[in-house]
Structure 1
């Protein structure tokens, strides 16, 4: 890699882009001001520590398979974990962040107005961090066959206003402290971009508390076995998972911090944040059995009795009848219960503290207001003073957990092509293309795509790169597999600003019947499909033979990423295009790289914003011209032709047979009859169509593009001496070598 001043981007230009994206505070990102004064203010607001990472990877933990009529799938118990390891580790124990309710790991990664979340703030402090997506939430797809029927209602703006973002404006008798809520980073009402971001990340949770706890006993224990002694920090109903983690692995849980925990309160029903739910948490703090001393074989053995507190504002709760049994595996683990000033948890948390203390636990009740942290609601990690809200927790860990810990071990150095190290000026996650949809019970978010952004410390290329995953998958395909680096790593280290997208209803974009529709995605056939996809792979990671990865650990990691293929290609394309246009209008001229099914989306982005797409790279784009749903040549939605055409049936077609020696079957494909119409908005954009050994749609697509006036170049890896790759070359053992082909082509062609 070269490092010269000519290709670098100045801090001022970077800050302009960051402000537009929401990687700086919302008042900058949304103000539309481009004055020098605004940029100077942005520079001051955006000066944060470099994220110098020895490791940034992900993995699925707790994978087992089950056979259903449509194939072999995972059982749905698995969790997704994103690992953030600073180059300079300054604390002995990693912190495991577990989201609550209808959220996902994003709750910890970025605030709704685009600032760093607690995960990155902990990395700044020198902690190793593990960000968890619970089963069926975030990156692990929600599969009704495995997780149960979707909840009857999707998360709504109205519920979020009342319970999360606009407490002071929606004060009810249920929370007399709501008027103290001042820290939400926006108006907190419909129309607030921060609220759009919050709702876009919310999705259905596993309906059974016992099922969720059972899955965590399995997967959470495996995570602790892998990472060793750790601190568990939870939000909302995931507090039950902290107690279970310590119950299952008492020697590996060194401290517990719970924010907004579900408690042993006396409330009928159950399952939601703060609702006790009688039978839903029959064991006091959990729905499933905990280890007591003397042992308890059934909840009735605890002899739980309602308590009526004398203190005003404290909700009734339950305690054991004395002499109380001891929570034998939790008793040696320090616990902090954290309560925000304006949260309804002020009514519940004293009951949780009392139940734990009665069970022999060492508990500190941290009221943020006592530390001078004022005005927070139930999500302090997302609010304007999130940095201040974290400080009492860090102080508690230093006081209660870290003293007497073993010596700190730094992360090992790995060879460059196998390294997952990154040096980032900024990292974030945000949503684009968010629409609001009225349903019978309120307003829901729909249509959104997710974007994870990576800004290197040293930017060496003027145009960022947008990465778009393929059909069944999600953005994690661009992030590597098996803790190896992916194309995100390689592009960042090459000096590109990188924006990797989760397409609508895929990955971190939740799916619910009332948003995208229950039938929006066709179910994935699991290991059966995987064996077919990889049957000829000589470069599949960890597999030296051409037998695929079915049943192997890496094969399961791949299956865990698969969400499903959109059934209605045109509808999906329009959803994605709205978000993609919004993204490239914010970040400015960009390179778009697509994989497989995502290939059709690259053409749409270039067609709708030709001046902002500086190059297109399609890696084994799906679909032959004019076959199936791609009635407009290479897309399911209209493209701008010259002469114009309003109906794809008016495009005259002819058979075309690839030359002898071309990859794939020797058959005729459909392209335009001559004289061909031109794709007027794609003309002049450099296009690379890259193919491994086993796909055959490349020559036909490239022939169609060329006859339509496009500057398209076809590269077959085999012709460059790179052999053995499947459609999944971005994940395979030689993915760095394949990346090099793209890197070199961009250096040669994407110069305008």
Structure 2
């Protein structure tokens, strides 16, 4: 892709409706759980809380914003990464419009999701339903894995943090991003894919834009439900599945865009993730498919972190992605 100057369009946004719903999952019934005596609201009286009964588990949450006059027939759907929720796409940690709004301005209906076990999708009791406890992400881990700076550059005092030279994630947003992080589990890939597929079957086909762990889910979903995905944009996917010749034949018609930021070589885990995604991209190209790369540093755009939708040039990158989606909508 060419690095060309872009001015962000600011089309008026007239919203016809917002549809919020949960989809997917199953009902699990618990028995033989202890009955508790507890106060559940402020200074209210103590009452019995009975944990026996039916629970919905494995569902996801979706928020579908519909324009009064969409300029594109197919909506854009956003999937977030690990330890994150749909807020990834809503507003940047330092208060700028997120990609949800920017794509609405560009004339797309937009669907933002909270994946299974995250955010408004909720999670389930463990070990009664989930078989293990959650994993939590610290601000220190985020600093390193999101490539804000060297691990040694993190400090509790914001004034003492040392970011990578040219870092484009606003340092004023580091603590706000830390507040967004949520518990996650590492054992629910099957449940997550099932819920995502149920969502696609309800609202698809879509242009799918996915980040990090969500990118891994997206590349697997292309194999699972290719008829429901018009194009797919994976932003720094956390790995990619291996492809057989049969797989390639079934998905080569779907345009793919792979987006990467800066400082990849500074974090070994991201070098491995990129190697896997590059293999996927190359295999698609060899099959004759549209498999494009937006390597931001190679385009002369330096300093982007693992979360380019939050970086100080997020609107510019959203514009580049939106242009690519529009260009490839006819496939």
- TM-score, normalised to structure 2's length? 0.76
Write the mapping of 1:481-496 to structure 2, written as runs, cut at 5 A.
481=92, 482-496=94-108
Q: 1:552 to 1:690 in 2, by over 3 A?
A: closer
Provide the C-alpha distance between the structure 2 equivalents of 1:705 and 1:549, rounded to a whole number of angstroms: 26
Provide the C-alpha distance between the structure 2 equivalents of 1:720 and 1:707, rounded to a whole number of angstroms: 23
Question: 1:642: how far off?
Answer: 4.2
2:237 is matched with: 621
Q: 1:578 to 1:520 in 2, by over 3 A?
A: farther
2:173 to 540, 545, 554: 554
1:512 and 1:518 in contact (8 A); partners too: no
Question: 1:422: how far off?
Answer: 4.3
Write the mapping of 1:674-689 to structure 2, written as runs, cut at 5 A.
678-689=247-258
Provide the C-alpha distance between the structure 2 equivalents of 1:520 and 1:460, rounded to a whole number of angstroms: 44
Q: 1:523 to 1:551 in 2, by over 3 A?
A: farther
1:619 and 1:689 in contact (8 A); partners too: yes
1:447 and 1:516 in contact (8 A); partners too: no
Provide the C-alpha distance between the structure 2 equivalents of 1:431 and 1:535, rounded to a whole number of angstroms: 34
1:734 is matched with: 313
1:713 is matched with: 292
2:137 is matched with: 524
1:610 is matched with: 226
Write the mapping of 1:337-736 to structure 2, written as runs, cut at 5 A.
422-440=13-31, 441-481=52-92, 482-514=94-126, 517=130, 519=132, 521-525=134-138, 527-532=139-144, 533-536=146-149, 546=164, 554-568=173-187, 572-623=188-239, 632-633=241-242, 641-642=244-245, 678-695=247-264, 696=271, 697-698=273-274, 700-707=276-283, 709=287, 710-736=289-315
1:534 and 1:549 in contact (8 A); partners too: no
Q: 1:609 to 1:485 in 2, by over 3 A?
A: same
Offset from partner CA, 1:138-181 (integer Å, 9 cap, x none): xxxxxxxxxxxxxxxxxxxxxxxxxxxxxxxxxxxxxxxxxxxx
RMSD, matched Cα: 3.0
Provide the C-alpha distance between the structure 2 equivalents of 1:702 and 1:463, rounded to a whole number of angstroms: 27
Provide the C-alpha distance between the structure 1 equivalents of 2:135 and 2:170, rounded to a whole number of angstroms: 22
1:93 is matched with: none
SS at match of 1:720: coil
2:326 is matched with: 747
2:36 is matched with: none
Question: 1:615: how far off?
Answer: 0.5
Question: 1:549: how far off?
Answer: 11
Q: 1:449 to 1:421 in 2, by over 3 A?
A: farther
Question: Where do 5+ consecutive residues of structure 1 fail to align?
Answer: 1-415, 538-542, 626-631, 634-638, 644-677
Provide the C-alpha distance between the structure 2 equivalents of 1:550 and 1:737, rounded to a whole number of angstroms: 14
SS at match of 2:251: coil
SS at match of 2:14: strand
1:248 is matched with: none
Q: 1:738 to 1:468 in 2, by over 3 A?
A: same
Q: Which runs of 4+ in 1 moved over 6 A?
A: 418-421, 547-552
1:591 and 1:615 in contact (8 A); partners too: yes
Question: 1:423: how far off?
Answer: 2.6
1:419 and 1:485 in contact (8 A); partners too: no
Provide the C-alpha distance between the structure 2 equivalents of 1:553 and 1:438, rounded to a whole number of angstroms: 45
Question: 1:488: how far off?
Answer: 0.3
- TM-score, normalised to structure 1's length? 0.35
Larger of the two Rg values belongs to structure = 1
Offset from partner CA, 1:157-210 (integer Å, 9 cap, x none): xxxxxxxxxxxxxxxxxxxxxxxxxxxxxxxxxxxxxxxxxxxxxxxxxxxxxx
Question: 1:417: how far off?
Answer: 5.8
SS at match of 2:250: coil
Question: 1:520: how far off?
Answer: 5.0
Question: 1:748: how far off?
Answer: 1.7
Provide the C-alpha distance between the structure 1 equivalents of 2:280 and 2:194, rounded to a whole number of angstroms: 26
1:315 is matched with: none
1:475 and 1:500 in contact (8 A); partners too: yes
Question: 1:535: how far off?
Answer: 2.9
1:129 is matched with: none
2:267 is matched with: none
Q: 1:448 to 1:484 in 2, by over 3 A?
A: same
SS at match of 1:504: coil
